[in-house]
Chain A
Amino acid sequence: GENVEQHPSTLSVQEGDSAVIKCTYSDSASNYFPWYKQELGKRPQLIIDIRSNVGEKKDQRIAVTLNKTAKHFSLHITETQPEDSAVYFCAASKSNYQLIWGAGTKLIIKP
C-alpha cells in the first residue's frame, strides 16, 4: 500500500527566511497531493494542493513542487511570519478515501 514519509519532523527558521518541508510517497499511481496546516489545538486546514499533471503551484508565499519521477513533493514557504508556526501535514492519494498522511512537521518561526 501507499506510504508517505515526511521530513523534517521539526523545523526551526528565522522570521523572514524560507522553510521547505519534503515528502516522499511509494505508490506511483498516486495523483493528488494536498498540504494541511494545523495550529495548536485546532483542526487541519487545506492550504495548497497539487495534481500529478502539474509540476509546481504557487499561492502567494506558499508553493508546492512535485517530482513524479522521484516520487517526492515539497512545500515551500517564503518570507516566513510568526503566524506560519504550526504543524504541516502532507498527504497523497489515488482517491480521497485512500488519502495517506505524512507524520507532520512542526514549523517554528523564531522572532
Chain B
Amino acid sequence: DGGITQSPKYLFRKEGQNVTLSCEQNLNHDAMYWYRQDPGQGLRLIYYSQIVNDFQKGDIAEGYSVSREKKESFPLTVTSAQKNPTAFYLCASSIGTAPGYGYTFGSGTRLTVV
C-alpha cells in the first residue's frame, strides 16, 4: 500500500455497534487524514491530525472519533451515533501541512451496516 496500510479491507457493522478502522503509515509523515467516500461522490474530510496527540474535526465529524497517540497510527472509530455509516473510508498522510505536499492514500476500508 505504498507505506500506508488500512485494515480491514471490508467491515460489517451491526446496528448500534462501534467499530474501529485501522490506519498505519511508515512514511514518517506528520499529517494524517480520514475521508469518507460515498458512491459516485467526492471525498469528504472527517478528521485530520497535524501532529501526535492533536487532531481536528473536518466537515463531517459527527458520529466519528479518532486518536493520534503515535505518529504512525491514526485509527478511526465509527460510533453508533453515525446513522448512515455505509461508505468507503480512506486514510491519507502527507509530509506536512504546507501546500505542495501530495497525499499518500491507503487502499481503503469498505464499511457496510448489516
Contacts and interface: CB of A to CB of B under 8 A. Distances in A.
Interface of A: 6, 31-32, 34, 36, 42-46, 49, 51, 89, 93-97, 99, 101-104
A43 B105 contact: yes
Most buried by A among B42, B56, B107: B42
A101 B105 contact: no
A96 B99 CA distance: 5
B75 interface: no
A82 B108 CA distance: 24
Interface of B: 1, 31, 33, 40-45, 48, 50, 56, 90, 94, 96-103, 105-108
Contacts of A93: 99
Nearest to B33: A97
A96 to B, nearest CB: 5
Contact of A97 (B42, B43, B44, B97): B97
A44 B102 contact: no
B90 A43 contact: yes
A12 B74 CA distance: 38
Contact of A95 (B99, B103, B105): B99
A26 B106 CA distance: 29
Contact of B103 (A6, A96, A103, A104): A96
Given A32-B100, A36-B103, A43-B1, 19 more contacts: A6-B42, A31-B99, A32-B99, A34-B103, A43-B90, A43-B107, A46-B102, A49-B102, A93-B99, A95-B97, A95-B99, A96-B31, A96-B94, A96-B97, A96-B101, A97-B48, A101-B43, A102-B42, A103-B42
